[in-house]
Structure 1
Amino acid sequence: MPDSLTPRPDLLRVSYDDYRALPAIANSDLSRLRDALDGKLPRRDSGSGALSFGTAFHTALLEPDEYVAGQPGLNDTLIWWLVEGVQLNTELSRLLAGGLTERSAVFTEPVTDTLCKLRADLVVDLPGEPYTVIDFKTTLARDADHFRWQCAAYDYDRQAAFYTDALRADRFLLVGVQKVEPFGVFPLEVPADMLAEGRRKYMHLLRLLRAPATAPAYRAEAVRAAVERLSLGE
């Protein structure tokens, strides 16, 4: 973890396109490297221009004034129903009211000296309360226990650790929001053991970015290509 005396990076209010253009490594970039290491094909943009359900939900919840109804393939009623479900949770509603939404940050990871970036759904910095980062995930999980399993299986633990360490957060909440009946909401304060595993994951990938030649021989070409796509080189 970063030194406790290290100042937090500034929280930036920038558009998503400007955030994507920042020349730094994001958690999603680490996912691309993980895919290469696992032998999966590179992710491709569908090019359809269709807004994903998850993106639409995040907009409705975090930036409701920016939500555009009637997008192809989206059920506006369902999206707003899920938003209402989150807002009916008293604690989440309070945090949403007191927090900063869709804030970005640029920082240097100190161990690997890698310039990185993040974009947080919600950051809550209130007097007398723990500095809290919250990320909302639409999910098909059956219940809270299933969602907790997904957090490790889908590397949400890596994201939690990456953001927690960068922002020196006191706690990180992952909130699962069921997009099918019974439309439950599953807040999970990520525990220390899950953060430790997530930290192991992101540090392993950052080191691999810096030294792709250390990848297993049978994945070396795919890892090298992934690194080149991230414009880091060897």
Structure 2
Amino acid sequence: MMKQGIYYDLSNEDYHSGEGVSKSQLDFIAECPALYQWSKSAPVDKNKVPSLDMGTAFHCLLLEPDEFNKRFLIPKPINMRTNAGKEEYAELIKRAEELNQTLITSEDHAKLMLMRDSAMAHPLAKWIIEAKGKAEASIYWADSDTDILCRCRPDKFIEQFNWVGDVKTSADINRFNAHSYDFRYHVQDAFYSDGVKSLTGEKPRFIFLVVSTTINCGRYPVKTFEFDDIAKDIGRISYKSNLQTLKQCLNDGEFPALQTLSLPYWAKELKND
């Protein structure tokens, strides 16, 4: 059983397959408790998983550049319109599988490099990236209200200054504020912050480093965000409620599965006509 603490050498695979409730699992509980159980046991069709997740690749390039060169195979430009090019690409796919690497095209690699350089041109983003700290540290703690083991894996934990940096990529960076609520990033902030505080005794400063995947005026925009206290408080209320729901489900041995459907507002107005 995992003990409370900060682990610096836990692999990504062991973290995701191990104990503890994560923020993504809280999202399932918030939607429907049965989805929490489903997420832990539903099989994954690995043949249908995209060969390259640009967000994952960018995280690795930005925060773990040495690891990036181990995990990704980057070929020279290939002319896919020729039979020779198609054959060469097929051989590269085979080679990547043998090396347990992910094949990334030279075009995608060039885009990732431009996004990285764009992030490094932003003063605060550059500081977060270069500051002495640990990328992908695994943090475990017991929730103070439910005693449920919780976990998080911050993109960058800068212990010296007690900062947590979280890297996001966005296709529409100008709408990140609206999307942050849809993806419950305020819940992530409160959940991670409380986890760090439970071990260090101090609440960390949580910063979102957002890099656009869409060009604007020839550049990939970069912005940094921090939630206000109201958003953090609402995030805390939300995740605490999710944990209480989980505790009740575990005590009862029942995970409600039915979700309620409703009509759009304009359809409801027809009833009054």
Relative to the length of structure 2, the TM-score reads: 0.68
Q: Is the 8 A contact 2:141 2:195 kept in 1?
A: yes
The Cα of 1:32 is off from its aligned counterpart by 2.1
1:1-234 equivalences under 5 Å are 9-36=5-32, 45-48=44-47, 49=49, 50-67=51-68, 68-70=72-74, 71-72=102-103, 75-98=108-131, 99-126=133-160, 129=161, 131-143=162-174, 146-168=175-197, 169-182=203-216, 183-212=220-249, 220-222=256-258
**Which residue number in structure 2 is paired with residue 4 of structure 1?**
none
TM superposition shift of 1:112: 1.0
| CA distance in structure 1 between the partners assigned to 2:206 and 2:34 by the alignment | 27
| Deviation beyond 6 Å, 4+ runs, structure 1 | none
The verdict on how the C-alpha distance between 1:10 and 1:173 changes in structure 2, with shifts beyond 3 A counting, is same
Task: Report what 1:228 is aligned to.
Answer: none
Identity of aligned residues (%): 23
Alignment deviations for residues 160-185 of structure 1 (CA, whole Å, 9 cap, x no partner): 11001110233101122110112211
The Cα offsets for residues 63-98 of structure 1, whole Å up to 9 and x where unpaired, read as 111211344576111112111111111222122222
| Compared CA separation, residues 88 and 116, structure 1 to 2 (3 A) | same
* Mapped contact 1:37–1:222 kept (Cα < 8 A): no
SS in 2 for 1:59: helix
Provide the C-alpha distance between the structure 2 equivalents of 1:114 and 1:58, rounded to a whole number of angstroms.
29
1: distance between equivalents of 2:232 and 2:58?
A: 26
Q: Secondary structure at the match of 1:137?
A: strand
CA gap 1:117/1:142 in 2 versus in 1, 3 angstroms: closer
| Counterparts in 2 of 1:25 and 1:78: CA distance versus 1, 3 Å | same
Q: In the alignment, is the contact (CA less than 8 A) between 1:176 and 1:187 conserved in 2?
A: yes
Q: Is the Cα–Cα contact under 8 Å of residues 124 and 224 in structure 2 kept in the other structure?
A: no
Amino acid at match of 2:159: D
Equivalent residue letter for 1:15:
S
Which structure has greater helix proportion? 2
Q: CA deviation at 1:46?
A: 4.4
Q: Is the 8 A contact 2:32 2:256 kept in 1?
A: no
Alignment gaps of 5+ in structure 2 = 75-101, 198-202, 260-273
> Bigger radius of gyration, 1 or 2?
2
Q: Runs of 5+ in structure 1 lacking a partner?
A: 1-7, 224-234
Contact 1:9 1:166 in 2 (8 A): no
| More displaced stretch, 67-76 vs 202-211 | 67-76
Mapped to 1, the partners of 2:256 and 2:239 lie a distance apart of 19
- CA root-mean-square deviation: 2.8
Distance between the aligned counterparts of 1:187 and 1:46, measured in 2? 35
Counterpart CA distance in 2 for 1:38 and 1:198 is: 22
TM-superposition CA deviations, 1:189-213 (whole Å, max 9, x none):
2221111111111111111111139
For 1:91 and 1:47, the matched residues in 2 are separated by 37
Supply the distance in 2 between the matched residues of 1:51 and 1:118 (Cα, whole angstroms).
24
- Say whether the 8 Å CA contact 1:213–1:220 is kept in structure 2: no
| Preserved CA contact (<8 Å) 2:140 2:149 | yes
